[in-house]
């Protein structure tokens, strides 16, 4: 194979062809395409090939069997010369009139001409909630009034306990003493010994 054949690019697409070859695939109906995907003007009848997605002329538009011309799947003179075998010589079913096509194309342009891009509304930034461990650390942290003039916390706590130790001892002693007076009527005496369950003798 010569070098010129390997370096050959896609050929220009002719608007008319005398080839009688017909693609075996079902005919492509124009109604299945969007109005901007085909052109029914006699001077430039063409459509976008669904297989290679390039504009291809329609030959024999006024005849009973219009079809796509044989074409390469690429831009003429730029891409590699790879024949579009699925779309070449495929029959076309013209089930849309030129007037109806122009109306649909005009309506589509009128609808899209007045469109405006939507304004992006930024969501307000929300502060990230602290983790459970961070909340616990904040609760365990000593308050400012507990920090005694730069002294360590353990020393401050020991001095506070020493100041209230005598009052706590007195409260415990009074709580352990029995109140004076008779015992309440209709109530069993308060046991002072630990009661343990015993099995009955057989």
Query: What are the tens digits of pLDDT across the range 124-150?
Result: 888 888 888 788 777 766 555 555 567
For position 196, what pLDDT does the model report? 80
For position 53, what pLDDT does the model report? 86
Q: Confirm whether 99 is domain-assigned.
A: yes
Average pLDDT, the chain: 78
Is residue 188 predicted with pLDDT exceeding 60?
yes
Q: What is the band of 158 on the pLDDT scale with cuts at 50, 70, 90?
A: confident
Is residue 192 predicted with pLDDT exceeding 80?
no
Q: Confirm whether 147 is domain-assigned.
A: no
Q: What is the band of 200 on the pLDDT scale with cuts at 50, 70, 90?
A: confident
Q: Confirm whether 13 is domain-assigned.
A: yes
Is residue 1 predicted with pLDDT exceeding 50?
no
C-alpha pair distances (Å), 22 with each of 4, 7, 69: 30, 29, 10
For position 29, what pLDDT does the model report? 92
Q: Confirm whether 193 is domain-assigned.
A: no
Is residue 6 predicted with pLDDT exceeding 50?
no
Query: What are the tens digits of pLDDT across the range 17-58?
Result: 777 888 889 999 998 998 888 998 888 889 999 888 888 888
The structure's pTM equals 0.47
Query: What are the tens digits of pLDDT across the range 58-90?
Result: 888 888 888 988 888 877 667 777 888 888 889
Q: Of 3 and 86, which is predicted with more confidence?
A: 86
Q: In what order do the strands lie in the sheet with 55-59?
A: 38-39, 46-48, 55-59, 67-68
C-alpha pair distances (Å), 53 with each of 86, 98, 140, 193, 198: 12, 22, 69, 100, 98
Residue 20 lies in domain? 7-109
Number of domains in the chain: 1
Q: Confirm whether 160 is domain-assigned.
A: no
Contact 60, 66 (CB under 8 A): yes
For position 146, what pLDDT does the model report? 53
For position 175, what pLDDT does the model report? 76
Is residue 5 predicted with pLDDT exceeding 50?
no
DSSP class of residue 81 equals -
Q: Confirm whether 2 is domain-assigned.
A: no
Q: Confirm whether 54 is domain-assigned.
A: yes
Q: Confirm whether 17 is domain-assigned.
A: yes
Is residue 15 predicted with pLDDT exceeding 70?
no
């Amino acid at each position: 194979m010569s070098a010129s054949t390997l370096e050959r690019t896609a050929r220009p697409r002719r608007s008319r062809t005398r080839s009688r070859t017909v693609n075996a695939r079902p005919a492509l109906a124009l109604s299945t395409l969007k109005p901007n995907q085909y052109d029914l003007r006699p001077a430039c009848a063409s459509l976008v090939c669904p297989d290679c997605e390039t504009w291809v002329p329609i030959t024999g538009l006024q005849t009973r069997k219009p079809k796509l011309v044989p074409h390469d799947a690429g831009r003429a003179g730029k891409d590699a010369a790879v024949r579009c075998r699925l779309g070449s010589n495929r029959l076309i079913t013209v089930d849309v009139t030129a007037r109806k096509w122009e109306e649909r194309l005009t309506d589509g342009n009128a609808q899209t001409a007045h469109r405006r891009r939507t304004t992006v509304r930024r969501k307000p930034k929300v502060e990230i909630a602290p983790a459970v461990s961070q909340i616990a650390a904040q609760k365990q942290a000593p308050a400012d009034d507990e920090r005694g003039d730069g002294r360590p916390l353990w020393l401050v706590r020991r001095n506070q306990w020493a100041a209230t130790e005598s009052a706590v001892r007195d409260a415990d002693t009074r709580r352990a003493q029995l109140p004076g007076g008779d015992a309440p009527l209709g109530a069993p005496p308060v046991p002072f010994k630990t009661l343990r369950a015993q099995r009955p003798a057989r």
